[in-house]
Every structure is written in structure tokens, then in C-alpha cells.
Amino acid sequence: VGTEAAKGTNKELLVIAHRGASAVEPEHTFPAYDQALEDGADYIEIDLRKTADGELIAMHDDRVDRTTDGEGLVENMTLKELKTLDAGEGQSVPSLKEILGRYGDSVNYYIETRESDEGELIMEEDLLQLLKQHRIPQNQVILQSFSKASINALHDLDPALTLVQLLKKKEVDQLDADKLQDLQKKAVCVGIYAGILDESLVYLIQANGLEVHAYYRGDEREWTEEMLHYGVDGIFSDNPAYLASIAEKR
């Protein structure tokens, strides 16, 4: 199985710490990642953004406003400027270099790439270079993106990468065996919003050689049982302790 956790247990469900243990600690901070690992997450999920001076950092939004005490677009700030901000509990926004330096090959990474607002690919080569520089084993890395162009670029840079194609509702609505067979040439898995998943869709995807990882918005306890019933292969969780406890019981 392409996404089987290198350092996780053999349990079937992959526990992916969404922005770290983001229900427990401020998202995308070291306490959030540390807590996730302590709580049994198989992977820490990292959203990437790029600063004005070209550094990859961990942040979901394009602006710093929601998660820090600053305001403005990440792409307009240097790393030095960004590092002055408080991302919660006095923590700074971690750069990808810092994350890889801190955890090295002791954890599994599930990293999301994004295009620039102008639709340009801006992070794929830098990301692969950083992973290489930090000697992160390839079987401990999953790369995900909503951007098909990014997934294609990553595959072209290294066909051995484990890639996850995130799909928007419109794309999910149009999924069929042909589209899945096409996706399967580059990706091992698709990531889909829990609210639009159902049992037959999960079956269709898996029957075409892809795994399914579900993400959600809001209280995950409202979704988890349903997702397990549908047989998804992994879940992005804001509270890995909760999800890991359920996964253990299966």
C-alpha cells in the first residue's frame, strides 16, 4: 500500500495530524506537531506557503491574520518579518527547514503544496531539495495538492514520490473509472472532503487502485464513525489522540 505509515503501527487507518494536533495546540506550531506525535499520529500534515524572500514556511492561509498577531500576505513578508509574529502561546511560525531540522527522519511528513495566486508553481523544486538536504527517507513523505499541475510537476521531478491528489467537489462529482485510472498514473491516493464522501464513492476509488483520505471541517466526532464505515484509508484529524484511540479499537 503506497501510503502505509513507515513508522506507524500496522493498523489500517492512517492518522494524519491536520496542521498538527490543531484542536489542542495552535496550528502549525512545534507544540502542535509535538502533541500530534505524542498522541499517536502517523503523519504530521504541513501546509506550505512561500515568503517574499523565497523561504517555505508552514501556514495554511495566504494571510497571517487568522493564526498570528500580525496582518498581511505571507508572500509580501520576509522570513525575518514573519518570525517576529506570535503564532500562539509565544510560538513563531516554523519554516520547513526548521521542521525538518527538528524532526529529521524520526517522523512521517504529509506536505501540501499550493500554486501562487497567479497560478504559478513556486515550491516543488525547493521542497524536494530541502527533503533531500535533510536526508528524509522517501517512504516517510507524502506530498499532496489540490493543484494537478503541482502533482504532475512533482511526479516529473521524481516518479518515485508518494503523491496524493486532493479533489474539489466539482471534480469529485465528475469522477469515473477513466478519470481515476488517469489519476492513478501519478497519485496513490485522493483526498476528499468528508461531507461529499459516501460508501459507493469510496468503493469506486479503491476499486480503481487509489486510496481515500478524508478531511473535514468542524467537529470530527460528527464524521469519524461514518468515515470508518465507508472504509476510508486515512483521516486528517485535528485531534489525533481521539482518532488514534478509535483506530486502536478497530
State the minimum distance, in angstroms, from the CB of residue 239 to ligand G3P: 14
Supply the minimum distance, in Å, between the C-beta of residue 84 and ligand G3P.
25
Phi and psi angles of residue 213, each rounded to the nearest 5 degrees, phi first = -115, 130
Q: Which one, 81 or 148, has the nearer CB to ligand G3P?
A: 148
- Per rule CB under 6 A, is residue 49 in the interface with ligand G3P? no
Provide, rounded to whole angstroms, the least separation between the CB of residue 144 and ligand G3P: 5
Catalytic residue numbers, as ranges: 18, 60
Site string for ligand G3P, 155-184 (x = CB under 6 A): -----------x------------------
208 binds ligand G3P (CB under 6 A): no
223 binds, among ligand G3P, Ca ion, none (CB under 5 to 8 A by kind): none
C-alpha cell, 96: 520547513
216 binds ligand G3P (CB under 6 A): no
For residues 76-106, one letter each, b for 16 or more C-beta atoms within 10 angstroms of the residue's C-beta and e for the rest, the string is ebebebbbebebbeebbbbbbebbbeebeee
Q: Give the x-and-dash track for 180-199 against ligand G3P (CB under 6 A).
A: -----------x--------
60 interacts with ligand G3P by CB under 6 A: yes
- Asked if 236 touches ligand G3P (CB under 6 A), the answer is yes
Closer residue to ligand G3P (CB): 40 or 191: 191
18 lies in the binding site for ligand G3P (CB under 6 A): yes
112 contributes a contact to ligand G3P by CB under 6 A: yes
Q: Between 19 and 180, whose beta carbon lies closer to Ca ion?
A: 19
Choosing from 215, 228, 232, 237, the residue that interacts with ligand G3P (CB under 6 A) is 215
For the bound state, the minimum distance from the C-beta of residue 207 to ligand G3P, rounded and expressed in Å, comes to 23
Choosing from 144, 162, 165, 239, the residue that interacts with ligand G3P (CB under 6 A) is 144
Residues 134, 100: contact at Cβ < 8 Å?
A: yes
Estimate to the nearest angstrom the gap between the alpha carbon of 141 and the chain centroid: 10
**Residues near ligand G3P, by CB under 6 A:** 18, 47, 60, 112, 144, 166, 191, 215, 236
